[in-house]
Amino acid sequence: MSGLWQLVQQELFTWAMLGAVLATMVAGLMRGYAGFGTAVVLAPIYSTLWGTWEGVPVMLLMELLISIQLLPRAFKDADRRVVLPIGGTAFLTMPIGSWVLFAADPEDLRRAIGALVLVFGFLLMSGWRYHGSRPLWLNMTVGGVAGLLKGATGMSGPPVILYLLAGKEEARHHRANLILFFALIAVISVIGPIAGGLVTAAVLAKLAVVLPVMLVCVPIGARLFRVVPERLYRPFAMGVLVAAGGIALLG
């Protein structure tokens, strides 16, 4: 335990940790407000600051704890008929993505994460959405792609967010659907890094610093959901995504 505390102290006073804390504050506000944002903001930034083999496990562990915090209130508002098949299929394909995390070159993977976030950010800014029906086979296809991305990069959000935000439901239902989905896959997503030995003392030390920041910011973001108009928040959120993707791609 003393060794872990020494690592925490070493991590506290670095420029990388300062950048990670600032990014975590923004991601926490986004996650509390919109129901998403943790992975798409933090995966590219953490991977740039700490490398994919440390950045992705830190983000996945934090995602699990935050999902547990948000789930109880969101469960009753979620469309389980749509979300459960997406989450179940993602559960099945995630181990394949985890293999990619171990096999791919970390630098190439970091740039791929950045490119994916940039494309996702620009798609959201453009206003494009999927407006078709949601049959079971399509729910499972979206879930399969999301699981591959989650295992490899820590991000399952891009295809699921574009898909789930397409409907005409109220904002609180969109938010609940996203929270339920991320909670479903959060548990299984940490198994690959743990089994592969990526959850090291250095990873836990970084988590010990950024997790309290996230735990404070998520409830603040949840309160903002009740008072901040979506038309004011969306440009900020999309700008953050594009900036995060650019940092990982060009950093």
Reported as a single tens digit per residue, the pLDDT across 104-123 is: 787 787 777 777 777 777 77
Average pLDDT value for the chain: 81
Q: What pLDDT is recorded for position 179? A: 83
Q: What percent of the chain has pLDDT over 90?
A: 15
Segment 155-171, tens digit of pLDDT: 777 778 778 776 667 77
What confidence category does residue 1 fall into, taking pLDDT thresholds of 50, 70 and 90? low
Give every CB contact of residue 31 below 8 A, 6+ residues apart in sequence.
37, 38, 66, 70, 214, 217, 218, 221
Stretch 15-35: mean pLDDT, rounded? Answer: 88
For the cut 70, the answer to whether the pLDDT of residue 234 exceeds it is no
Q: Hey, what are 93's tokens?
A: 């394909």
Q: What pLDDT is recorded for position 20? A: 93
Domain count, the chain: 1
Evaluate whether 84 touches 136 at the Cβ level (below 8 Å).
no
More confidently predicted of 162 and 209 = 209
Range list of H helices, the chain: 2-12, 15-34, 38-50, 52-74, 80-103, 106-126, 136-153, 157-164, 171-189, 191-195, 201-227, 230-250
- Other CB atoms within a 10 A radius of the CB of residue 76 amount to 8
User: What is the spatial distance between Cα 218 and Cα 138, in angstroms, rounded to a whole number?
Assistant: 31
Q: Hey, what are 120's tokens?
A: 């996702």
What confidence category does residue 10 fall into, taking pLDDT thresholds of 50, 70 and 90? confident
Quote the pTM value. Answer: 0.72
What confidence category does residue 214 fall into, taking pLDDT thresholds of 50, 70 and 90? very high
Segment 35-68, tens digit of pLDDT: 777 877 888 889 889 988 899 899 889 888 888 8
Query: What single letter denotes the amino acid at residue 138?
Result: L
Domain interval for residue 22: 2-250
Q: What pLDDT is recorded for position 213? A: 95
For the cut 60, the answer to whether the pLDDT of residue 235 exceeds it is yes
For the cut 80, the answer to whether the pLDDT of residue 188 exceeds it is no
Q: What percent of the chain has pLDDT over 70?
A: 85
What confidence category does residue 129 fall into, taking pLDDT thresholds of 50, 70 and 90? low
Q: What pLDDT is recorded for position 150? A: 80
Q: What pLDDT is recorded for position 140? A: 93
For the cut 70, the answer to whether the pLDDT of residue 245 exceeds it is no
